[in-house]
Amino acid sequence: MSDTGTSPVIPGSQANHSRPVLWLITLVAVGLSLFQLYSAGIEPLGLFYQRSIHLMMIMMLAFLMFPLLGPKHDRGIVTGLIDTVFFAGALLTGGYLVLFLDEIINRAGFWSQTDILVGCIATLTVLEAARRAVGLGMTVIGIIAILYAFAGPRGELPWLGAFLPGILEHRGYNLDRLVGQLYLGQEGIFGLPMGVAATYIFIFVLFGAFLEITGAGKFFIDLAYAATGRQRGGPAKAAVIASAGMGSISGSAIANVVTTGAFTIPLMKRLGYKPHQAGGIEAAASTGGQIMPPLMGAGAFLIAEYTRMPYLEIVKVSILPAIMYFSTVYLFVHIIALKQGMQGMARSELPQMRDVMQEGWHFLLPLLVLVWLLVMNMSPMRVGYYAILTMLAVAVLRFAVWFLFIAPRNGQKVTAETLREAVKAGLIKLVGGLELGARNAVAVSMACAVAGIIVGVVGLTGLGLKFSSMMMAFSGGNLLLALVMVLLASLVLGMGLPVTASYIVLIVLVGPALTAEFGVPLLIAHLVVFWYSQDSNVTPPIALAGFAGAAIAGAKPMDTGFQAWKFAKGLYLIPLFMVYNPEIIMGGSIPVLVWTAVIGFLALGAFAAALEGFLFTWMSWPVRLVLLPAIVAAFYPNLMLEVAGVVVMILAMGGNWLASRREANVAGAGPA
C-alpha cells in the first residue's frame, strides 16, 4: 500500500488570509503549544493562570483564523477593524486576570467597576469567538443562559421572569453578580469545562498533530488496514474494543478519547466514516470505559463504600451490563459501515503486517509509554507530555538511523548540504505540528468556554439541585417517569460537576426515594445513578467527551456531540433494563440469568436496527414501528410479554436477513 495518508485538514485554512495574518497565526499557535507543553511537563501553573492564558491565546487564534463574515469573505477595512477590536478583547480577557489576579482574589465578592467592565467584555468576546469557531448554535445557548439568569424579580430583566414556568423561577441576578460568577469565579468561563480543555484535551490534540507530521499516523493506518482491512468498519470496531480496554484503567472518558482517539479517529475517517461520526463513535466508546470494570472511573470504590458491599462484588455484577453497552456501540458501528457501503479490501490491496511492522515498529514506543504511564496512575496531562517527547525522540532516532546506516547502505551520498536540508525540513515539520495542534484545539476550547457560561448560570440559579429535589413530585409515583427525571437531573448536574461529584450529589438526593418509595434494590439504584451521571460526556450541549473527539476529528463539536449521544443510547436503556430485570444484577437461577441476558442483547440489537433503519439490509418503517413495542415488552418484567417481544424481534430481524439474501441472489443473477 503506497500511501494511506492524506494531508491534515487545517481549521481556518479555507479563509483567504494575508501573509502578515498567516505569520501571526503561526506565531500565536506555536506560542500556545509551547506554553501548553511547558505547563504540562515543566512547571504546572495555578488554575486561573493556566486557564486564562489558554483561553486568551485560543481566542486570539479564533479571531485570526475566522473572519467576521466567514471564510468566503475577505477582510475589508471595517471587518478588519472589528476583528482587531475583538482581538484586543481576547488579550484583555486573559491579560487582566494574569496581571491583577492577587488583587482580584483579595477583593473577592466586592468587585470593582473595572472588574465588572472587563468581565462584560470577556463574556461578549467569548460568545463571538465561539460563534466563529463553533457555530451560532452554541452562542445562542450561551445567550439564553445569560437571559435566564437575568429573569426574576431582582434581576436585570424582571419582566422576563413572568414567562418562566414555576419550576424555573428564581430570584434573578443583576449584572455585577452574574459577571462575578461567569468571569471572576471558578464556576463560569474558567470552570471545569475550560479546565479540561486547557489541560489534557489540548496536550493530546497536540500529540495527535505530531502523529501526523512524524509519519506515525501512516504507520498506524497501515497497521489497522493490515489487521482489519478485510472487515467492514474494521478500525471503528477496533476503536470500540480499544476504548473498552483503555477506559477501564484511565479513569476519565475524556482522557480515554484523547489517548485512543489520537490513533483510532484518523483510521475511521480514512475508512469512510464522516469526521463527526468518527469522533462520536470514539466518545461513546470511551464513555463506556467508565462503566467497564475494574476501575469504572473510581466509581466501583464509591459504590462499594455507599452500599457497604465488597468491591469485588461491584466489579462482578458490572461486567455483563458493560459488555451489553459495548455490544450496542459495536453494532451501531457495523450497521453504519453496511449503510454507507464500506467494503472490505482484497488481501492483495492491503499492506502485509510483517512489512508494516518492519518499517515502523518504533512508532509503537510512544503508545507503550502512554499506556504504561496511565497504568502507573500519572496525570493524563503529564502522560501526554511524555508521549509527545517520546514521539519526537523516535522521529529523531529514525532520522539518525537513516543518516548513519540506511542511506550509505543504499548508496545514497550524504553531505553536509543534504544534512542541513534534512534538519531544516525537520524543523519546519516541528513548527507545523505545533501550529496544527493549536489550530485543532480552537473549536473545542471555545465550546468549553461557552459551556462554562451555562455551568455558571446553572450553579448561580440553583437549577441543578432544583431539578433533583423536585424530581419525585413530578413523577407522580411512576417509576419510569422517576427514572426519566433522574436522567434529566444528572444531565443538568453534569453541566457543572465532574462525573464522580454528579453521582455523589444525585445519589444523596434521589437514592433514598428510589429505594424506599419505588422499591429499587440499593445496588441497582446506585448503578443506575452512576450510569446516568456519565451522560454529560455524550449529551449536548455539554458533551465534553464528544467535544474532545471533535477536536481530534476536525469536526464541529455539536455535530459530534449529537453523534456520541446516538451511539451511547445503551447508557440510557441498560439502566432501565437493570431496574425492570433486577436478576441480571442481583443474581438468580442459571436459566433465568441466561434468558434475561439473551433478551437484553436482543432488545438492544433490535433498538439499534430500528433507530438506524438497517440491519442486514434496509428496514421498512412498518417493521421499525413494530419493533418498538416488542423492545418495550422485552424490558417489561412479565414472562408472557417478554416471550411475545422476543418472537416479534426474531421474526422482524429474521425477515430482514431473508430480504438481504433475496437481494443478494437477485444481484448475483443479473445480466452477465
pLDDT tens digit sequence for 564-601:
998 998 888 999 999 998 888 877 778 888 898 899 99
Decide if pLDDT at 339 tops 70: yes
pLDDT score, position 126: 96
pLDDT score, position 251: 56
Half-sphere exposure of 4 (CA within 13 A, CB side): 26
pLDDT band at residue 235 using 50, 70 and 90 as cut-offs: low
Contacts of 7 (CB under 8 A, 6+ apart): none
Decide if pLDDT at 46 tops 60: yes
Decide if pLDDT at 8 tops 60: no
The three state secondary structure string of 301-322 is HHHHHHHCCCHHHHHHHHHHHH
In Å, how far from its chain's centre is CA 481?
28
d(CA 122, CA 103): 18
Q: Which three cell numbers stand for residue 231?
A: 472487515
pLDDT score, position 647: 94
Decide if pLDDT at 297 tops 70: no
344 vs 405 pLDDT, higher one? 405
Q: Exposed/middle/buried for 539, CB within 10 Å: 0-12, 13-18, 19+?
A: buried
pLDDT score, position 18: 80
Decide if pLDDT at 259 tops 80: no
Q: What are phi and psi of 462, to 5 degrees?
A: 75, 20
Decide if pLDDT at 500 tops 60: yes
Q: Mean pLDDT over all residues of the chain?
A: 83
d(CA 198, CA 193): 9
Share of the chain above pLDDT 90, in %: 25
pLDDT score, position 492: 76
pLDDT score, position 602: 93
pTM of the entire predicted model = 0.73
Lowest mean pLDDT, pick from 115-124, 211-220, 335-344, 430-439? 211-220
- State which H helix or E strand residue 618 sits in: none
Share of the chain above pLDDT 70, in %: 88
pLDDT score, position 471: 65
pLDDT score, position 672: 46
CB 634 within 8 A of CB 642: yes
pLDDT score, position 503: 81
pLDDT band at residue 444 using 50, 70 and 90 as cut-offs: confident
Lowest mean pLDDT, pick from 5-9, 234-238, 480-484? 5-9
Q: Using one digit for the tens of pLDDT, what is the confidence trace for 601-616?
A: 999 999 999 988 888 8
pLDDT score, position 154: 85
pLDDT band at residue 5 using 50, 70 and 90 as cut-offs: very low
Average pLDDT of 255-275?
81
State the DSSP string of 151-206.
-STTSS-HHHHTTS-GGG------HHHHHHHHHSSSSSTTSHHHHHIIIIIHHHHH
Decide if pLDDT at 81 tops 90: yes
Average pLDDT of 299-314?
78
Lowest mean pLDDT, pick from 14-28, 223-237, 423-437, 477-491? 223-237
State the DSSP string of 223-282.
HHHHHHTTSTTHHHHHHHHHHHHHHHHH--HHHHHHHHHHHHHHHHHHHT--HHHHHHHH
pLDDT band at residue 13 using 50, 70 and 90 as cut-offs: low
Average pLDDT of 420-448?
87
191 vs 222 pLDDT, higher one? 191
Lowest mean pLDDT, pick from 247-256, 473-482, 630-639? 247-256
d(CA 504, CA 400): 53
Lowest mean pLDDT, pick from 376-390, 422-436, 624-638? 376-390
Average pLDDT of 539-557?
86
pLDDT band at residue 345 using 50, 70 and 90 as cut-offs: low
pLDDT band at residue 288 using 50, 70 and 90 as cut-offs: confident
Decide if pLDDT at 68 tops 60: yes
Decide if pLDDT at 3 tops 50: no
Q: Using one digit for the tens of pLDDT, what is the confidence trace for 117-158?
A: 999 999 999 999 999 988 887 788 889 989 999 988 888 888
d(CA 16, CA 349): 39
pLDDT score, position 201: 80
